[in-house]
Amino acid sequence: MPLAHDPYELLHSTAAYVRRFRNRTFVLKVGGALLEDRAASKALCRQISLLWSFSIRVVLVHGGGPALDALCAKLSLPVEKVGGRRVTSPAVLEAAQMVLAGTEHTRLLADLRACGVPAVGLSGIDAGLLRATKRPPVATASGPVDFGLVGDVESVDPAVIERLLEGGFLPVVAPLSGDDEGQVFNTNADTVAAELAIALGAEKLVFLLDAPGVLREATKPETLIPHLTVAELDALEAAGALQGGMAPKAASIRRALKGGVPAAHLVGGRSAEALLTEIFTNEGSGTMVEAGGAS
């Protein structure tokens, strides 16, 4: 970013955003692929530490897909995904708990601790945070699909998250949910992030991606789309422009905006400054999605 004529101009501009977002809640979701990139994970945690130091209430939801795929391969368990969502047998659920509430979870907490952030790890099981039911078979073009022990979130009790935020802690949530009979479910992390954003009255829902944002052409970063409405997002999906794991994110964005979250952002997670640029500058760095129009 070129230096302004007034050396304090950037500082004044940033301060305006800090005042606007102080004590507001941001729900961030980081995918497992970014966590596997140690440099990217540490750079993200440094950016999150700055948000936290500005009194922005951050809730971080993480995935762990690549690590879970690797563990399943070691255990000779099948890896089956339909529409970007994992089919979860009892054995795969056990592996998911090892990864999501174990290795990936702890490593992310350690990275945040190294940045001076008082992060606290939990999952949707803790204090009844996420109540879910087993997903029924889903009709697809090739026939019904039973996703197994995958949970559809029915309700959120954000009390434990709110207590942590009020105490100055940063909650880190693993995407597991449960029912009142003690059954644990694997739950899509994008869905978890959206449901938490709604329940917490979040100002923003932010997805950290491999790509810099939503692209008109998946292999060309220069086709980044800075602003979208939900209708425009729907049109891109109908045209086949949203591939792979972008479909669950699009569904989660629709759900969050319908639930009252003012804006969702899709931001490149491999850049050392992309998240801060998206939040604290007019230009941004990724894609902002709003319900009825972009500002």
CATH of the domain at 193: 3.40.1160.10
Q: Is 10 domain-assigned?
A: no
Residue with the bigger pLDDT between 4 and 49: it is 49
Q: Is 110 domain-assigned?
A: yes
Lowest mean pLDDT among 35-39, 197-201, 252-256, 257-261: 35-39
Instruction: Provide the pLDDT for residue 181.
Output: 96
Instruction: Provide the pLDDT for residue 242.
Output: 84
Confidence of residue 206 (pLDDT cuts 50, 70, 90): very high
pLDDT at 127 over 80: yes
pLDDT at 213 over 80: yes
Summarize the confidence of residues 262-284 as an average pLDDT. Answer: 93
Which residues on neighbouring strands pair with residue 204, listed in sequence order? Answer: 26, 263
pLDDT, one tens digit per residue, over 153-196 is 999 999 999 999 999 999 999 999 999 999 999 999 999 999 99
Query: What is the number of structural domains in the chain?
Result: 1
pLDDT, one tens digit per residue, over 230-250 is 999 999 988 888 876 788 899
Q: Is 8 domain-assigned?
A: no
Instruction: Provide the pLDDT for residue 264.
Output: 98
Range of the domain at 57: 22-290
Dihedral angle of Cα 144, 149, 154, 160, to the nearest 10 degrees: -160
| 3-state SS assignment for residue 204 | strand
Q: Cα(60)–Cα(105) distance, rounded to whole angstroms?
A: 11
Q: Is 14 domain-assigned?
A: no
User: What is the pTM assigned to this prediction?
Assistant: 0.93
> Above pLDDT 90, what percent of the chain?
79
Q: Cα(212)–Cα(267) distance, rounded to whole angstroms?
A: 5
Q: Is 6 domain-assigned?
A: no
Instruction: Provide the pLDDT for residue 5.
Output: 60
Phi-psi region of 249 (alpha: psi -120 to 50; beta: other; left: phi over 0): alpha
Instruction: Provide the pLDDT for residue 4.
Output: 53
Lowest mean pLDDT among 4-13, 18-27, 28-37, 51-60: 4-13
3-state SS track over 220-278: CHHHECCEEEHHHHHHHHHCCCCCCCHHHHHHHHHHHHHCCCCEEEEEECCCCCHHHHH
pLDDT at 274 over 90: yes
Q: Best-predicted range by mean pLDDT among 35-39, 136-140, 215-219, 260-264?
A: 260-264
Q: Is 4 domain-assigned?
A: no
